[in-house]
Chains A and B, each alone.
Chain A
Amino acid sequence: MIFGVLTLASGDPLAALLGNRTPSPERVAQLQAQYHLNEPFLVQYWLWLTDAFRGDFGDSIVYQTPVSSLLRQAAPISIALILMAEAMIVAIGLCAAVVAARHRGAPDAIVALASSLAISIPIFVFAVLLTIIFGKTLGVLPTVGAGTGGWDRFSHLLLPAFALAIGSSALLARVGRSAMREEIDSPHVATEVARGIPSHHVFRRHVFRNSLPPLLAVIALQIPALIAGTVVVERAFNLGGIGTLLLAGVNAGDFPLVQAIALLIVIVTVTLGVLVDILHAMLDPRMSLAGNQ
């Protein structure tokens, strides 16, 4: 599978390199040597693959520095953004789900309304609205750049992470609500309540735990969307993370840079998916890692 991904990601660097500039013949020869462009495709591919395994993705054409050092600068921003967003998704989504599942009537209706609103508003619209409301009108939070150092970085990433999280957390709230409701209405919960076990105890030990597997499935399904959303949010708030690098690379035809980021994104997507699967198997013994045994 990874082999297929790599073949796809390798693409055709020659066309991109010569497509948007008219260099001198010496420069062409130098570039060809630098990027092994005069080698046959499979040789090129093999060189790129072996270098990539050692963490060497070659030099960026635009920035004229090693791609790996560019990635090292940008990665902490994107990682912090995704972690903060994921924390918000879980916190907001679970709280809303629990409230909606336990309190029928008004709280349930409010969560249903808010979540359907949040799901139908795209991430970039949220990002722009947050910029206008908090950055421009209220002026309480920074909306441009990623900041430096602990607290400054945190406050700079607060709005971007929220914009990234809101849609997924609404989806999580919905799925969580119906999963918990199903558990609450099930016979085993009715039995426990009838036996006089305190309701918060029943909820924590039986309802909440049993509704976790479908929630994990939603989180797993949202991973590609979360990564795509990172690129959008980084652009909206001008964060200078991996997504910003990707766009800069695409617009400049910087093949080594885009290749490296593509590989990175695919690896992260697949790894996160596998991690969620493992967690899923730990929570639900019926789900075996080997599939169906």
Chain B
Amino acid sequence: MSKPRRRALRLGVAGWIAIAVVVTAVVVAIAAPWLAPQLPTGGSILEQFEPPSVTHPLGTDVDGNDILSRLMYGARPSLLGPLLVVVLALLIGVPIALASAWRGGVIDTAIGRALDLIFAFPTVLIAALLVLVVGRGLPAAIVAISIAYIPYTTRLTRTMALRERNKAYILACEVQGLSTAAIMFRHLLPNISRFIIAQATIAFGFALIDLAALSFIGIGIIPPAPDWGIMVGDTTSIAQGNYTGVIAAAGCIVAIVGAFTLLGNRLDEGSELK
């Protein structure tokens, strides 16, 4: 008997472009100190809004900082932040989901209610309350978005785990007397891992948007640190008709989010066993 095979991952041209976009962003983020022509902060206000030149390929912003350098350094929090959000939300969400799916009954109901409660708090509100208590910054923003994402990761994982629960291979494991932990970690999780990774990839894109939105409204990353959300929210530049930094940062966000969403969907298409 042949083993059931997963459908191969079909990337297509768009998928390869998406991978190229993500790889480029990661390389730029890591190598920012060597690639960037200038430092991202500490510019002189005397060099405000300079047009593109050899020293400033995209010109300078309202504070006289090099826009290209800010874009490159800005890739760091914009990629690291969502990564931490997704990892945190999975680390907390997946165990809760498995407990919920396996125990059922009262525990399942209680967890469901608790998730509903979190769901009643929009991300911005969680961030606002957290910032009020612990102060503004990247850590508070990451924790706030992670909390807001736990209901989503938990619900999706629980649904998937429930679907697998009554399949023959799980029942076979139970008949053999394997412990619950062994079934979950050696049999269930490997089988739903691709689905979880697909959802995490899509969530990465949303987390990037939410994180940038928090910086945009001024309760995320603290200026003048380089960040794409802060760059899009540069109202002074918009009011003065200088859009280069705003448009470039917005373009970066949209490109990365689009790439992650596309890759996540491609992964999801083949996530179930044939």
Which A residues lie at the B interface, using CB under 8 A?
1, 4-5, 8-9, 11-12, 15-16, 119-125, 128-129, 131-132, 136, 224-225, 227-228, 231-232, 235-236, 238, 243, 246-247, 249-251, 253, 255, 258, 262, 265-266, 269-270, 273
Contacts and interface: CB of A to CB of B under 8 A. Distances in A.
B258 A235 contact: no
B129 A11 contact: yes
A136 B235 CA distance: 12
The residue in A224, A247, A251, A253 that gathers the most chain B C-beta atoms within 10 A of its C-beta is A224
Interface string B91-110: 00000000000000000000
Given A124-B232, A231-B122, 9 more contacts: A8-B129, A120-B254, A122-B212, A125-B254, A136-B238, A227-B125, A228-B124, A228-B125, A262-B125
A4 B118 CA distance: 10
Interface residues of B, number: 38
Contacts of B235: 238
A132 B239 CA distance: 9
Interface of B: 113, 116-117, 119-125, 128-129, 131-133, 136, 205, 209, 212-213, 216-219, 229, 232-233, 235, 238, 241, 243, 246, 250, 253-254, 257-258, 261
Contact of A124 (B128, B131, B216, B261): B216
Nearest to A269: B120
A4 B15 CA distance: 44
A247 B129 contact: no
B132 A231 contact: no
B238 A235 contact: no
Q: What's the dominant secondary structure at chain B's contact region?
A: helix
B122 A265 contact: yes
A228 B123 contact: yes
Given A12-B133, A124-B212, A262-B125, A270 B120 contact: yes
Contact of A122 (B132, B136, B213, B238): B213
19 contacts: A1-B116, A5-B120, A9-B129, A11-B129, A12-B133, A121-B254, A122-B253, A124-B213, A124-B229, A129-B250, A224-B121, A228-B125, A235-B217, A249-B132, A250-B128, A250-B131, A251-B219, A265-B122, A269-B122
Contacts of A132: 238, 243, 246
Contacts of A224: 119-123
Contacts of B250: 125, 128-129
A242 B94 CA distance: 35
Contacts of A247: 128, 217-219
Given A4-B117, A124-B233, A131-B238, A258 B129 contact: yes
Contacts of A273: 120
Given A121-B254, A131-B238, A258-B129, A251 B123 contact: no
Enumerate the 5 nearest inter-chain pairs by beta-carbon distance, A residue then B residue, closest first: A228-B122, A228-B124, A224-B122, A122-B209, A235-B217
Nearest to B257: A120
A128 B120 CA distance: 28
Contact of A231 (B124, B133, B261): B124
Nearest to A125: B250
Contacts of B136: 251
A251 B136 CA distance: 8
Contacts of A16: 132-133
Contact of B128 (A1, A5, A246): A246
A122 B219 contact: no
A202 to B, nearest CB: 33
Contact of B232 (A11, A119, A128, A270): A128
Contacts of B233: 124, 128, 235-236
A253 B218 CA distance: 14
Given A131-B238, A224-B122, A262 B133 contact: no
A125 B253 contact: yes
Contacts of B129: 8-9, 11, 258, 262
A235 B125 contact: no
Given A1-B117, A5-B117, A122-B209, A250 B219 contact: yes
Contacts of B238: 128, 131-132, 136
A243 B136 CA distance: 17
Nearest to A231: B124
A11 B123 CA distance: 17
The residue in B113, B120, B250 that gathers the most chain A C-beta atoms within 10 A of its C-beta is B120
Given A1-B113, A11-B129, A232 B120 contact: no
Contacts of B119: 224
A262 B117 contact: no
Nearest to B116: A1
Contacts of A5: 117, 120
B241 A232 contact: no
A75 to B, nearest CB: 16
B30 to A, nearest CB: 25
A123 B213 contact: yes
A211 B79 CA distance: 39
A136 B237 CA distance: 12
A224 B209 CA distance: 15
Contacts of A129: 250
